[in-house]
Structure 1
Amino acid sequence: MKNWLFAGSPKAGKTAAMTYTILECCRRCGVEPTTYLEDVLEKLPKMMESETNQLTPASTKKNQVNRHLDRRSPTDIFPK
């Protein structure tokens, strides 16, 4: 089905295209879109415009991996 082709107006079509692009980027990076959007909406008001390139789904995935690694204990990394 291609119902998304009929967005109602050119502005709505542009908005839909941006939304689908974000969702597809998340899918390709293995990031849950809801998690990504929550992360972006939390960080964006505190950032300078020059820092916004850090808000990609790929950087979100990298940050999730780093947070997971930071929470591990030494015994997780080097079992006895």
Structure 2
Amino acid sequence: MGRKNWIFVGSKDGAEWNATIVSLIASCALHGIEPWAYLRDVLILLPTWPPERIIELAPKSWKQTLENADARQRFAASPWPRAPAAAPS
């Protein structure tokens, strides 16, 4: 199914971005994270996040990052509200 859909990405750069996003969403699923809430939260944090700590934003480290006081402060200072937490399954 995917192979036929990938012809519509438009360019090599588009294909690379598509692969990155699909990989992030798949990694979220592997770690039990709701992907759309994760992506929204990461996009809120990313502009002010220190580049040397970028690995903390990966799905593998995400649950621990959310417990971090620094991340909570950055969310509180953001003009955009966080996505509502999904009910545990």
1:41-64 CA distance string (max 9 Å, x none): 121122111011100112223455
- Are 1:30 and 1:61, in contact at CA under 8 Å, matched by a contact in 2? no
Query: Residues of 1 paired with 2:31 and 2:46: CA distance?
Result: 20
CA RMSD of aligned residues (A): 1.9
Report the counterpart of residue 58 of structure 2 in structure 1: 56
Structure 2 CA distance for partners of 1:47 and 1:63, relative to 1, 3 Å: closer
Q: For structure 1, which runs of at least 5 residues remain unmatched after alignment?
A: 68-80
- Are 1:27 and 1:33, in contact at CA under 8 Å, matched by a contact in 2? yes
- Are 1:29 and 1:61, in contact at CA under 8 Å, matched by a contact in 2? no
The percent of aligned pairs where both chains have the same amino acid is: 29
Match of 1:13 among 15, 20, 23: 15
Of Structure 1 and Structure 2, the greater helix share is in 1
State the secondary structure of the residue aligned to 1:52.
Answer: helix
Shift of residue 38, structure 1, vs aligned partner: 1.6
Shift of residue 37, structure 1, vs aligned partner: 0.9
Higher relative contact order (CA 8 A, sep 6+): 2
Trace 1:32-47 onto structure 2 (pairs within 5 A): 32-47=34-49
Q: How many residues align?
A: 66
Q: For structure 2, which runs of at least 5 residues remain unmatched after alignment?
A: 69-89
